[in-house]
Structure 1
Amino acid sequence: MYAALWRLLPGPAWVRVVILLILAAAVLYGLFWYVFPWVSQLITPQESTIGG
């Protein structure tokens, strides 16, 4: 999978690395600002106490 992605990207190796870093940053941004807050509304935390 990674080899196919590497072959699809244009340019020399350093351009491919920059493109992959930008894509990874965009995915992380989307996860932290849109996906994780949406999922946290669907998951109810377990009530637990520590100690006794």
Structure 2
Amino acid sequence: MYGPLWRALPGPWPVKLLLVVALVVAVFLLLMEVVFPWVSTLMPYNDVAV
């Protein structure tokens, strides 16, 4: 999976490394800001009553 991604990125290896780091950061931020808050509203542990 990572080999085809690495070969698809343009430039020499330092540029590819920078692009991979940017992609990882972008995916992380997308998960933390959009996906996880949406999923947490669907979880049943928000309606806890003791």
Larger Rg: 1
**Shorter-chain TM-score tier:** 0.7 to 0.9
Unaligned runs of at least 5 residues, structure 2: none
Calculate the aligned-residue CA RMSD, in Å. Answer: 1.3
Structure 1 runs, 4 residues or longer, greater than 6 Å off: none
User: TM-score, with normalisation over the residues of structure 2?
Assistant: 0.87
Unpaired runs of 5+ in structure 1? 48-52
- Flag the structure with higher helix content: 2
- Percent identity over the alignment is 45
TM-score, with normalisation over the residues of structure 1? 0.84
RCO greater where, 1 or 2, for CA within 8 Å and sep 6 or more? 2
Number of residue-to-residue matches in the alignment: 47
